[in-house]
Amino acid sequence: MPGRRRRWRAYAMLAPFVLAFALASSMFGPVSTLSLVGGAAVALYGLMWPFLWVASWRKRRRIPYDVPEGYRPLISVLAPARNEELVVGQMVTQMLRQTYGHWELFIIANNCTDRTAEVARDASQGDPRVIVLEYTFENGMKADALNRALPKVNGEIVVEFDTDNGIDDDYMERVAAAFSDSSVEAVQTQILSSNSHEGLLALLQDIEYMVYSEIFNRGREAMGLSSSIGGTGFAIRTPIIREMNGWSRALVEDFELFTRLVESGHKVSYLPYTGV
C-alpha cells in the first residue's frame, strides 16, 4: 500500500505538467513546445550553479575533526581493483602510513589478468589488516566486487575507494572523527586531483572535482540537503549499507545508491578538508 500511495502521488504531481504541455502543444505545436521546455531546463540547470556557489559560503553544521578519546571504531575499506598493478601498491602503502590504525583493507581483485593481487600482497608486508580477495565472474561490474566483499567486513564503518586514489596520512582519523557524531550516517569526502600540473586535461579534471566538492556538495550541505556520492572517498555506517543491500549493478552505481539512501530517509554529509 505505501508504494501504491507514493505512485499515485507522483501521478498527481505529474498531471499538471502533462496538461500544460498538451495545452502549449495545441497553441505552438509539439516541436516548438519541446524546444521551449528544453531551453527552460538548460536555463534552470545553469542557474543552479551560482545559487549553490552562494549557498556554499553559508555556515554549515560542524562535523567533528578530532577523534574523541576512547572512540576507536573499526573502519573497513573496500577497494575494487581490475588490472591495477601499477597503482594498487601505492594504495596499500598509503593505508599502512595512516595515523589512525584501527582499520582493515580489502583489495578486491576483480577479473584481473595482471599482477594486481600479487603486488597488493607484496606491498602489505604481511600486515594482517590487508586482505586480498580474488574474484572472477562473468560480466562483472564494480558493484559485484563491492557486494562480494561486503559480507566479510568486520568494521562499524565501510569506506569505498578506487585503488588509484591518493590519501593523506590522517584520512582515516578524519573519517573516524566524523562518525563520532551519532547523527552522521554517511559522508562523502572531498575529491581532488593529484596531477593537475601534468597538462590541460588533468587541470580541467581537477577543476571539475573542485566544483563538485566545494560548490555542489558544500552548497547542498549548507542548505541541509544530502551530499551526492562520488564513487570514491565515500563512507557509511555498516548497518545502513547492509540495510540497502549494498550496491546495485547500475551504470552509475554511486548515484543509484545516493538515490536509494535519500529515498530511504538517510543523509550523506559532506566532509571537507579530507580528500582523495
For cell 541541509, the residue is: 224
Distance from C-alpha of 233 to C-alpha of 189, rounded to nearest angstrom: 5
Is the confidence at residue 109, as pLDDT, over 70?
Answer: yes
- Angle at Cα 153 formed by Cα 148 and Cα 158, nearest 5°? 95
Q: According to the model, what pLDDT value does residue 6 have?
A: 47
Would 122 be classed as within a structural domain? yes
> Are residues 124 and 50 both part of a single domain?
no
Query: Nearest-CA neighbor of 143 among 118, 110, 104?
Result: 110
Q: According to the model, what pLDDT value does residue 16 have?
A: 60
> pLDDT for 44-99, tens place per residue?
545 655 666 666 666 666 777 888 899 999 999 999 999 999 999 999 999 999 99
- Please state at what angle helix 30-55 crosses helix 2-28, rounded to 10 degrees: 120
> Are residues 100 and 27 both part of a single domain?
no
Query: Nearest-CA neighbor of 221 among 160, 276, 273, 143?
Result: 273
Q: Which domain holds residue 189?
A: 75-275
> Is residue 211 exposed (0-12), middle (13-18) or buried (19+ Cβ within 10 Å)?
middle
Q: According to the model, what pLDDT value does residue 4 have?
A: 46
CB 56 within 8 A of CB 215: yes
> Are residues 113 and 236 both part of a single domain?
yes
> Are residues 176 and 90 both part of a single domain?
yes
Q: Record the cell numbers describing residue 117, joined without a space.
A: 593481487
Position 221, amino acid = E
**Could you tell me which residues come within 8 angstroms of residue 65 by beta carbon, excluding any fewer than 6 positions away?**
174, 177, 273
> pLDDT for 110-155, tens place per residue?
999 999 999 999 999 999 999 999 998 887 789 999 999 999 999 9
Would 80 be classed as within a structural domain? yes
Region 262-267 average pLDDT: 93
Q: According to the model, what pLDDT value does residue 15 have?
A: 59
**Could you tell me which residues come within 8 angstroms of residue 248 by beta carbon, excluding any fewer than 6 positions away?**
143, 256, 257, 260
> Are residues 161 and 244 both part of a single domain?
yes
Give the neighbor-by-neighbor strand order of the sheet with 103-110. 130-135, 103-110, 75-81, 157-160, 234-237, 186-190, 268-275
Q: For residues 191 and 236, which has the higher predicted lDDT (pLDDT)? A: 236
Would 232 be classed as within a structural domain? yes
> Are residues 211 and 175 both part of a single domain?
yes
> Are residues 31 and 157 both part of a single domain?
no
Q: According to the model, what pLDDT value does residue 1 have?
A: 43
At 186 the three-state DSSP class reads: strand
> Are residues 49 and 181 both part of a single domain?
no
> pLDDT for 195-213, tens place per residue?
667 777 777 777 777 777 7
The alpha-helical segments, DSSP class H, found in 217-252 are 218-222, 238-243
In percent, how much of the chain has pLDDT > 90?
46
**How many domains, the chain?**
2
> Are residues 46 and 99 both part of a single domain?
no
The whole-chain average pLDDT of the chain stands at 82
Query: Nearest-CA neighbor of 163 among 210, 204, 114, 211?
Result: 114
State the CB neighbour count (10 A cutoff) for residue 2: 6
Is the confidence at residue 270, as pLDDT, over 70?
Answer: yes
The 3-class secondary structure across 94-113, one letter per residue, is HHHCCCCCCEEEEEEEECCC
pTM exceeds 0.85, yes or no? no
Q: According to the model, what pLDDT value does residue 7 have?
A: 47
* Separation of CA 29 from chain center: 42
How sure is the predictor about 167, in pLDDT bands with cuts at 50, 70 and 90? confident
> pLDDT for 217-228, tens place per residue?
787 787 788 888
Q: According to the model, what pLDDT value does residue 2 have?
A: 43
Distance from C-alpha of 161 to C-alpha of 276, rounded to nearest angstrom: 8
Would 218 be classed as within a structural domain? yes
Q: According to the model, what pLDDT value does residue 187 have?
A: 94
Q: According to the model, what pLDDT value does residue 48 have?
A: 59
> Are residues 92 and 16 both part of a single domain?
no
> Are residues 250 and 118 both part of a single domain?
yes
Distance from C-alpha of 176 to C-alpha of 108, rounded to nearest angstrom: 23
> Are residues 7 and 110 both part of a single domain?
no
Domain containing residue 187: CATH number: 3.90.550.10
Would 64 be classed as within a structural domain? no
